[in-house]
Amino acid sequence: MRRGHQRRRRRGDVRHGALLLLAEGPQNGYGIIRELAERSGGTWRPSSGAVYPALSLLEDEGLIGPAEDTGPKHYQLTDAGRAEVEQLEGRPAPWDDATEEANSRLGGDAELWKAFGEAAMAVRAVVQTGDPAAGTAATEELVALRKRLYGLLADAGD
């Protein structure tokens, strides 16, 4: 899904998502951005302009702090952060909301749309390698997939 077509996330979604991810272990800002996109099947890709200020605010509130022995600027939950995560228990994760919203807006099977988003993220990763051979191979795979999908439609009409 292109960034221009994404719904503006609710206030607190980045905060909620970051806290849940940090409850699983220390991460840096880039890792949080990547993980939020991956868990939403690519339907939600928060910008660094949303994530880094949220992390700074969480740090100012004493909910997260620097992680020890993890490399450049990794964060971990503090005791107060763990208490905050406990209070969030029972609320759906923001990446689940993003996937459900995309499914209801676009119609169809949530798993299909999630797989589509994940495939789009894989294509982006291939492009970012800058490897022409990988790009050519990925293009061939996508063309073959498109033909197989149209074949499914033709078979469904029988």
Same domain, 70 and 118: no
Instruction: For residue range 16-73, list pLDDT tens digits in order.
Output: 999 999 999 999 999 999 999 888 877 788 899 999 999 999 999 999 999 987 777 8
Same domain, 73 and 131: no
Same domain, 34 and 75: yes
Q: Show the domain range for 68.
A: 3-99
Out of 74, 99, 124, pick the residue that ends a domain.
Answer: 99
Same domain, 87 and 114: no
Out of 80, 99, 118, pick the residue that ends a domain.
Answer: 99
DSSP letter for 27, please. B
Residue among 147, 31, 23, 10 at smallest CA distance from 88:
23
Same domain, 122 and 95: no
Rounded to two decimals, what is the model's pTM?
Answer: 0.61
Q: Helix, strand, or coil here: 62?
A: coil
